[in-house]
Amino acid sequence: MSAAKSPAHIAPGVAEIRLSGMPADVDAVVSVLERFAAGLPVETMRLKILTRSTGRRNRRSPGHRVYLVVRLEPRRAMGENQ
């Protein structure tokens, strides 16, 4: 996945996502999102949203921002059968 510059105006139906964390963790989250977007099953990992901030207005661009803290866990560690 290539890095894209932030658009000056984000079109309706589009949300810009910024990920931060250890490189392997960021890559794993991107992989789960890519599979989800392609309609493919994510059988080995589960993405869990730990916290979600309230929406805040952007200072430099239209719209607002929300911060998520997520964790990837193996499905078996969460008690799901495979």
Q: Considering the domain boundaries, does residue 15 fall inside one?
A: no
Are 52 and 66 a contacting pair, CB within 8 Å?
A: yes
Q: Considering the domain boundaries, does residue 4 fall inside one?
A: no
Domain limits at 72? Answer: 23-55+64-77
Number of domains in the chain: 1
Banded model confidence at residue 9, pLDDT cuts 50, 70, 90: low
Report which residue type is found at 61.
S
Question: Whole-angstrom Cα distance, residue 1 to residue 31?
Answer: 10
Provide the residue count of the chain: 82
Banded model confidence at residue 74, pLDDT cuts 50, 70, 90: confident
Q: Considering the domain boundaries, does residue 70 fall inside one?
A: yes
Q: Considering the domain boundaries, does residue 41 fall inside one?
A: yes
Most confident stretch, 9-13, 48-52, 61-65: 48-52
